[in-house]
Chain A
Amino acid sequence: MRTVWRTARLAERHAQTRSGRSLVFTVPGWPGHLPGQHLDVRLTADDGYQAVRSYSLAAPADGDRVELGVQAVPGGEVSPYLADELPVGAAVEMRGPLGNWFVWSGAGDEPVLLVAGGSGVVPLASMVRARRATGSPSAFHLLYSVRGPDELWYREDLLHEDPLLDVRIVYTRRSPQEADREPGRVLPADLRAPTARLEPASPAYVCGPTGFVESVADLLVGLGRDPATVRTERFG
């Protein structure tokens, strides 16, 4: 089942940031997926040449509707095409869902830590939306690192008033005036408050560029989190 390439037609495109896009596709026969999973997208050129990249699912399963979040990488082969060139109504191919490890099952009720760097927020947004949709009693603590205020994805979902969702934003280059810290990379002090609310078995999901994930996962272990509870997804 999971190895089948399916036709996926672009239904909607919304700008999240200057170079980040939400793309909604219609994928007849899509088998559904779990929050945190990803899929493969395949593009085909006129001469038959194909390119495949992985993209995380940005929203919980919803019939044949599949939402992605794509950050256009300058000079990239696939992401700028998906972000800005693929016409609405045109098709690509998709295969999935993939990845059965970076997944929030929704089964437990313990608090959960989410740490996102840039577009690494995409699979975590799926978890946040799934928690809200299912009414799970787990409290979510999200630490979200972005370059500046104009780089925030999913404002409506993440900044929405919710007693079970606590969001802290770390600006790495430019912070808004009301920010309570200087711009810079995630430090142990940023993780101390959210990890203090966790239970020993609470899972932590860390997603973003490799350097970010390496650094945050090391900090979490340094703060005493059991490495077996820290799940990582690296975008490149």
Chain B
Amino acid sequence: MTSFSPGFRGRARPLADRLPPGQYPTEAFPVLSTGPTPHVPTAAWDLTVTTEHGETRRWTWDGMMELPQQDTVQDLHCVTRWSRFDTRWRGVPLDVFLEDLETAAEHVVVESHGGYTTNLPLADLLGGRAWIAHTYDGHPLAPEHGGPARLLVPHLYLWKSAKWVRALRLTTTNEPGFWESVGYHDYGDPWREQRTWGD
């Protein structure tokens, strides 16, 4: 047996029941993205949902703000290993956007301004587990954190919570998104440490 890192003590042990394996808690809000931050004015913002039959629904910013809003407090887990507890968001649950759609699709491709995409099972966006979030800690969501609005799916690693979201495309086959095509895990459950292909 080899013993590793002699003399390493580390910090106070974190709250094990809230911290997924391999994560560390932080008070900061680090940023992970692939390129420059898009700056999208709310007047130009819209969200479309398209089914596999081509049925399309569209909301403008004002239309989205008139939908039922929800406040939620969530723990965030980023694949770059930080976790942040008790983050406060306001937004619209995805159930509201997806209600009564005629679809047999089981997958969703989320598309963002700037070209980013990510894929999720449709079921993960339903049941009050996912939001289109526009307010963070009582303030409009900053552009570097995905403002004016981002997807929030806190039960998966944060790359699934696409920033600058503009469209949800329901698909009958699974289409890997941006990170999912270059090595990140297709599903991304932090509690099962699904970071990369093969995890």
Contacts and interface: CB of A to CB of B under 8 A. Distances in A.
Contact of A43 (B2, B5, B196, B197): B5
Interface stretch (A152-160, A189-197, A210-218): A210-218
B140 interface: no
A101 B31 contact: no
Q: Is the interface of A mostly helix, strand, loop or mixed?
A: mixed
Interface stretch (B6-14, B61-69, B117-125, B166-174): B6-14
Contacts of A236: 28, 30
A214 B197 contact: no
Interface of A: 1-3, 7, 40, 42-46, 49-54, 77, 81, 85-87, 90-93, 98-101, 210, 213-214, 217-218, 220-221, 227-228, 230-232, 234, 236
Nearest to A89: B6
A101 B168 CA distance: 24
Contacts of B31: 210, 213-214, 234
Interface residues of B, number: 36
Given A51-B10, A85-B7, A91-B5, A220 B24 contact: no
A232 B33 contact: yes
B35 A228 contact: yes
Given A7-B2, A45-B8, A86-B5, A101 B182 contact: yes
Contacts of B183: 2, 98-100
Given A50-B22, A217-B35, 14 more contacts: A43-B10, A51-B11, A52-B24, A52-B81, A54-B81, A77-B10, A86-B7, A98-B196, A101-B34, A210-B31, A214-B31, A217-B37, A232-B35, A234-B33
Nearest to A227: B36
B144 interface: yes
B40 interface: no
Nearest to A213: B31
Given A44-B5, A77-B10, A3 B144 contact: no
B102 interface: no
B138 interface: no
5 contacts: A42-B4, A50-B22, A53-B81, A90-B4, A100-B183
B48 interface: no
B1 to A, nearest CB: 11
B196 A230 contact: no
B199 interface: yes
Nearest to A44: B4
Contacts of A234: 30-33
B80 interface: yes
Nearest to B30: A236
Interface string B152-189: 00000000000000000000000000010011000000
A231 B35 contact: yes
A54 B80 contact: yes
B41 to A, nearest CB: 15
Contacts of A210: 30-31, 144
Contacts of B8: 43-45, 51, 81, 85-86
A86 B9 CA distance: 12
